[in-house]
Amino acid sequence: MTDTSIFPDPTYKDTVLAPLFEGVKTHYAGHMAAINRAHLVMLVETKILSAQDGRKIAQALAAIDAETDIAALTYTGEYEDYFFFVEAELRRRLGDLGGALHTARSRNDMDHTLFKMALRIRAEAMLDQLTTLTKALIEKARAESDTLIVAYTHGQPAQPTTFGHYLAAMIEVLSRDGERLSAAIDNLGHSPMGAAAITTSGFPIDRTRMAELLGFEGPLVNSYGCIASVDYVTGLYSAVKLVFLHLGRVVQDLAFWSSFEVAQLYVPNALVQVSSIMPQKRNPVPIEHMRHLASVTCGRCDMVVNTMHNTPFTDMNDSEGEVQQAGYAAFESGGRVLELLTAFLPACSINAAKVRRNTDAASITITELADTLVRDEGLTFRQAHEIAAHVARNLDGAPLSEGFTTFQAAFQTATGRATVMDDTAFRTAVSPENFVALRDRIGGPAPAALASALDDSARATQTLCTFGDVRKQRIFTADTARTNAFTQLLEI
């Protein structure tokens, strides 16, 4: 009989074992109970244990679950970890029979199974938050499909587009991020149970039944890989990181757009803070919180992934216990970003007067002047570009819409003839409304093109929701089946 009650070195106890015990209490005790019950059902069904012994163990497990106040447990060092605490309780109640539950399994396969069970709950919750944000942005983009903004490239005013078009770009990235996250959740969907320490077992276990009882699609096949592979961890945290790396770029735009100098994004009073000393200040502080929380989340994901770097391809603590628990903070900080952004962006609006001011000041519609010269005047694009550039350089502070005279002169000089355009046609050509309306191509900002893109995004988002619903239903079905099978053991 293995002695599991030797008290550890006090420093080892306080620095390693006690924190791990607390982590199990917080994150894994419920999953361990589910594994215990499922494994017992499987042992009885495969006749590795008799029905009578199974009933006795089931009764003891039920009593332990009912009588143990897990939150009140304090780690004493009497048993190495929570697993041995439960086994000791079984043996105290049943004698040697209490040790029979561990037939054909190991803490190795149990650990990776409960890690997956804990991760899939958090990851599904984050995917729900992500799809909720996406749906809110689709609704906002439809409402803002005609709302002009200044689009920037290289930090400079570039061309007019619409707020809806900008949001649609953001939505498409979120959709791809959601697909990556959903695929990473799928990679949590196969059970390590039955791998035992690393080579399965000599007992006639039913790995498929165990997977079914725990809500997995099936067993993860290679038993060595069940214990040694950590790609379910690295893949998931890589997918999570990308969500917040990409959102961080959008949040940076929000900070720039809401600055006093640009001021095209208006943040409502409920989402700003005032200065304690400067009466004029309206600080859109939630933007800063989203930016730093997104960065913190990326860092937490990197911490988990980088911890796996250059570790041996075998069972190791580098991928277990404390690393797993530390990673859960990424879901907490990332979840806060998603919730805040879901409230923030729909509440914001575009300052049309500031957009018009910046549009005029930066001549951002002049690309369409060049395009119009190609279509209506028969010029090459390079000729047209040079004429338009001359106009932009010689407006002397006037808005482009008032630059017809400058344009006439530049056109005459460059071509040796008069333009066919009059002032009205010129104003139309350089208006932001015309600029957007003409860009009615796949992915463009014109209303029909944008509406089509948003419809596609809505369908993609619904598909992600459906995938998540299927996975959650599988877990619910397994919980029901496991409870029923365990109850039948009690009643034998």
Contact 194/223 with Cβ under 8 angstroms? yes
Contact 111/320 with Cβ under 8 angstroms? yes
Q: What does the pLDDT read at residue 6? A: 65
Q: What does the pLDDT read at residue 492? A: 78
pLDDT in tens, the chain (492 residues): 445 556 789 999 999 999 999 999 999 999 999 999 999 999 999 999 999 999 999 999 999 999 999 999 999 999 889 999 999 999 999 999 999 999 999 999 999 999 999 999 999 999 999 999 999 999 999 999 999 999 999 999 999 999 999 999 999 999 999 999 999 999 999 999 999 999 999 999 999 999 999 999 999 999 999 999 999 999 999 999 999 999 999 999 999 999 999 999 999 999 999 888 998 889 999 999 999 999 999 999 999 999 999 999 999 999 999 999 999 999 999 999 999 999 999 999 999 999 999 999 999 999 999 999 999 999 999 999 999 999 999 998 899 999 999 999 999 999 999 999 999 999 999 999 999 999 999 999 999 999 999 999 999 999 999 999 999 999 999 999 999 999 999 987
Residue holding tokens 């215990």?
A: 36
DSSP β-ladder status, 349-350 and 148-153:
unpaired
Contact 334/240 with Cβ under 8 angstroms? yes
- DSSP H helices, 6-105, are 10-12, 18-27, 29-45, 51-67, 82-94
pTM: 0.94
Q: In this structure, what token pair is assigned to residue 295?
A: 């960065």
Q: What does the pLDDT read at residue 31? A: 97
Q: What is the dihedral of CA 171, 173, 176, 181, to 10 degrees?
A: -90
Burial per residue of 16-48, b for 16 or more beta-carbon CB atoms within 10 angstroms, e otherwise: ebbebbebbbebbbebbbbbbbbbbbbbbbeeb
Q: Rounded to an integer, what distance in angstroms lies between the CA atom of residue 156 and that of residue 165?
A: 18
Burial per residue of 87-119, b for 16 or more beta-carbon CB atoms within 10 angstroms, e otherwise: bbbbbebbeeebebbbebbbbbbbbbbbbbbbb
Contact 320/24 with Cβ under 8 angstroms? no
Q: What does the pLDDT read at residue 1? A: 41
Q: In this structure, what token pair is assigned to residue 325?
A: 């628990």
